[in-house]
Structure 1
Amino acid sequence: MRVGRKEATAVAVAVVLVVAAFVVPHLHLGIVTPLINATPQRLRDFAGTAPIFGWWDAHVGWGTVPAVVIAVAAVLWGQSVAQRLPWRWVPWVTWATAGAWAFSLAMVDGWQRGFAGRLTARHEYLQQVPTVTDAGEAVRTFASRILDYQLDSWITHVSGHPPGALLTFVWLDRIGLGGGAWAAVLCLLVGSSAAAAIVVAVRALADEVTARMAAPFVAVAPTAIWIAVSADGYFAGVAAWGIALLALGVRQKVRLPVLAGAGAGLLLGWGIFLNYGLGLMALPAIAVLLAAVDWRAALRACLPAVLAALAVVAAFVVAGFWWFDGYTLVQERYWQGIALDRPFQYWSWANLASVVCAIGLGSVAGIGRVFDKTAIRLRPGLHLVVVGALLAILFADLSMLSKAETERIWLSFMVWLPAAAALLPPRSQRWWLALNVAGALALNHLILTNW
């Protein structure tokens, strides 16, 4: 395999970054460390495998064989299947493969530890669901319960997000699908559907050939380790379909761009009530608008999108929750916790190392091809949306509100990055895909990921 200068440079920088992030915590460099003011036990619990959040635990499970089979099949036949399938089947097969890949990786840790029990941990949403007897009252009083050290404070994950996240699991419970397994299924199905949304968006923003080349990379991306199972996988799926619908609208790939724009606005509007950080999805959305056929097409999709998003905001205002109140209070709650002991001097760059681990070196090689000045001047959609996702990650990093666990927290931005591998020379793509899946398998079998 002949490696071009751009991808070689990108991968070399990424490797150095990851190695440094894993090694530096053991060099005792003062505040350039993942955790300060920590006992040895607390260091093991919260920073033992920094920059990844988890514990060293070389293990296998019944998901190991299916995961390896899916990985090998994707490398050997993924490209040819993606090229030969009728287009209408490509998003569906991509979604199915992504779901099977994510579920297999989760099952390496076992049914309870890796799947059904993930969302029932003491800091997770499902612990709070039984306490919500009146959803309307919960929304009205939501902001007042965000800060810690109150008798009725929300638990960690609930307090750190807008009420839409909790409401989702409350509604799931109300329709008879309560418990960790059903919540995990929701996150898995919606989260893995992001792969299909990205393929649809790439076809709209670039062309069908590029979308077919992107399909294997997004189907077996290492991000699947955190999609199954975390609520952030669900958030990523919602945001991905919002961007995909916007892309279909601005590129006039549907009969009714206005409806596509409205759908995009509803999903992206709902997204900011799932996760405050999804406000940064405005950057990929702007990238999509820049790739519009013309300004009229952009306006036809953008206007209904904005109106639909405002309708979601208005619904929460009427229900008694003002987004900016929650955002202000959640920043205060953030600094009431472990964030004070996570130095920015380490996490400002180690966060980016966790991104490399979560997307794979093959995706990094593709990103090396994105920064082509000539191509960007022509406003190609795939280049722009990847740059938009990277800018979202950069702003999230500089905010100092994301220190550690970013391999999960930034899923909504990171799921777009493996699509950049479609820009690599076709002859080399199989090898880069192999590197991605090998990295995912190694990480998943050596570290018991936690969040």
Structure 2
Amino acid sequence: MSTVTATPPSGRRLARSAWSGALVGVVLVVLAFWLPHLMSFETFSRTRYPGEEPVPPLRGYLEVKAVGFTTVRVVLVGVVAWLVLPRLARLTPWPALLLVSYAAGLAWLLALAYVDGAEGISRVEDMPGEYLTTARGITDVPATLDGFVGRITYGEPDSWATHVSGHPPAALLFFVLLVRVGVDTSFGVGMAVTLLAAAAVPGVLVTLRALGAEPLARRVLPFLVLSPAAVLTAVSADAVFVTVSAWGLAALALAATASTRRRAVGWSVLAGVVLGLGVFLSYGLLLIGPVALAVLAAARSWRPLPWAIGGALVVVAGFGALGFWWWEAYGPLRERYLAGLGGRRPQSYWVWGNLAALVVSAGPVLGAGLACALTRVRATVTGAVDERRTAVLLSLSAAAAVLVADLSGMSKSEVERIWLPWVPWLLLSAALLPPRWHRPALAVQVAGAVVLQQLVFTQW
């Protein structure tokens, strides 16, 4: 019985797919920004204030910032990184490469944030709907968990602040921990979050190497570091979710490829605990599940699954013992969401406007990369195991998770930050672009980040 192996797409076909995907992304973004103004319909992307021009599909407003030293500095950082990072990614020994990716990512995050000066680090944490103000007032953690669900309600005197109510309690507890260890200023908390945010890229690289795709990790590293998502990642609590999920998946990949049973079990339990904790940081991180399954499929090993589930159940039991059961919160959460702006935002716009916001966040390369991934689906299913198969599995599983979130109607607006945990995995598709695309595509990513930072006041 003969086996039919699919032929990988030719260079010309790959280029056509990349151009088509890029065009779709550009058209989507243009329409999402332009149609609400052209047709004068309300998207409720944010509360309007006098003198501010909303910029749906992003949550923020138009703010053309004066070009000064900080702008010149971020351009210089971007240009230097564009010039040297691909070479460093190719030539740096592996352990040092993880440090390089962290340092480069941190430099890019800080350079972008400091376009607004020190306020670029602190302003988010000072906003009333964020976590820090609430965290400063928490004195009894068990009592907080026991009464957490009852305060998710909308508009009551004791209702949680917007972001606290919209997330499971581990998100709040992270900021409580910072306050308890003495990091209680808005600048200090913003810096702590940014330092954690930069650790996400090394987590993705560790995952790829464990899956036998080190060349892919080296090729995609510059795209992971220099994406426009860095504008939205610095100081946003969602940056913590990105890093936790990235390292949870790294532990899962190490479990699936471990050489001994003891290591496999240890890494599996750790993966379950970390990914389980992620679900208690953000309800949406339940949808990191498709990417986790793709990691196991890429490794061709399902042995970590029962142990990882066991590790996750330990986290569930721990929070439950203190009075918070995840599933009890979903009903009140949905009621609050529909009672607020979420209930007024038209799904007819946001079902595709969300995708435009994702393209802005992940960068213009996203459409081209995913189109290339789609052209390799058949070869991935029937072909030999290689690094491109890993890129296709992980990027398309992340895309599937995003589509589920989009169609749920519970992700209308604000997804440029809400979907950040899936952005690194989506951007693995950039490694599938035709080789001659890589340098110009990376330049476009850098330019997209600078333009976004320079023209839009983002509320994250």
Distance verdict in 2 for CA 1:61–1:313, change over 3 Å: farther
Shift >6 Å, 4+ stretches? none
Distance verdict in 2 for CA 1:243–1:63, change over 3 Å: farther
SS in structure 1 of the partner of residue 302 of structure 2: helix
For 2:185, the equivalent position in structure 1 comes to 179
After TM superposition, the score normalised by the length of structure 1 is 0.93
Q: Distance in 1 between matches of 2:20 and 2:123?
A: 41
Q: Any unmatched runs of 5+ in structure 1? A: none
Equivalent residue letter for 1:437: V
Query: Aligned pair 1:203/2:199, yes or no?
Result: no
Alignment of 1:17-416 (within 5 A): 17-28=28-39, 30=41, 33-35=42-44, 41-42=48-49, 48-59=54-65, 60=67, 62-112=69-119, 114-252=120-258, 256-293=263-300, 297-299=301-303, 301-371=304-374, 372-377=376-381, 378=383, 380-416=389-425
Q: In percent, how many aligned pairs have the same letter?
A: 40
Q: Distance in 2 between matches of 1:126 and 1:426?
A: 45
- Cα distance, 1:86 vs. partner? 0.5
Q: Distance in 2 between matches of 1:43 and 1:142?
A: 35
Q: Distance in 2 between matches of 1:290 and 1:405?
A: 31
Residues 402 and 422 in structure 2, CA contact (< 8 A), matched pair in contact too: yes
SS in structure 2 of the partner of residue 35 of structure 1: coil
- Choose 356-365 or 308-317, whichever is displaced more: 356-365
- Cα distance, 1:340 vs. partner? 2.2
Residues 206 and 382 in structure 1, CA contact (< 8 A), matched pair in contact too: no
- Cα distance, 1:152 vs. partner? 1.0
Residues 62 and 107 in structure 1, CA contact (< 8 A), matched pair in contact too: no
Residues 101 and 202 in structure 2, CA contact (< 8 A), matched pair in contact too: yes
Q: Distance in 2 between matches of 1:257 and 1:10?
A: 39
Residues 136 and 184 in structure 2, CA contact (< 8 A), matched pair in contact too: no
Distance verdict in 2 for CA 1:147–1:261, change over 3 Å: same
- Cα distance, 1:373 vs. partner? 2.5
SS in structure 2 of the partner of residue 397 of structure 1: helix
Q: Distance in 2 between matches of 1:321 and 1:44?
A: 42
Query: RMSD across aligned C-alpha pairs, in angstroms?
Result: 2.1
SS in structure 2 of the partner of residue 107 of structure 1: helix
Q: Any unmatched runs of 5+ in structure 2? A: 1-10
Q: Distance in 2 between matches of 1:367 and 1:95?
A: 25
- Cα distance, 1:357 vs. partner? 0.6
Residues 119 and 183 in structure 1, CA contact (< 8 A), matched pair in contact too: yes
Equivalent residue letter for 2:125: L
Query: Aligned pair 1:11/2:14, yes or no?
Result: no
SS in structure 1 of the partner of residue 61 of structure 2: strand
- Cα distance, 1:35 vs. partner? 2.9
- Cα distance, 1:414 vs. partner? 1.5
- Cα distance, 1:327 vs. partner? 1.6
Distance verdict in 2 for CA 1:151–1:422, change over 3 Å: same
Distance verdict in 2 for CA 1:375–1:194, change over 3 Å: farther
- Cα distance, 1:74 vs. partner? 2.3
Q: Distance in 1 between matches of 2:267 and 2:239?
A: 23
- Cα distance, 1:21 vs. partner? 0.4
Q: Distance in 1 between matches of 2:84 and 2:365?
A: 17
SS in structure 1 of the partner of residue 457 of structure 2: strand
- Cα distance, 1:43 vs. partner? 9.0
Distance verdict in 2 for CA 1:82–1:170, change over 3 Å: same
Q: Distance in 1 between matches of 2:69 and 2:342?
A: 36
SS in structure 1 of the partner of residue 198 of structure 2: helix
- Cα distance, 1:360 vs. partner? 1.1
For 1:436, the equivalent position in structure 2 comes to 445
After TM superposition, the score normalised by the length of structure 2 is 0.91
- Cα distance, 1:63 vs. partner? 3.6
Q: Distance in 1 between matches of 2:32 and 2:136?
A: 40
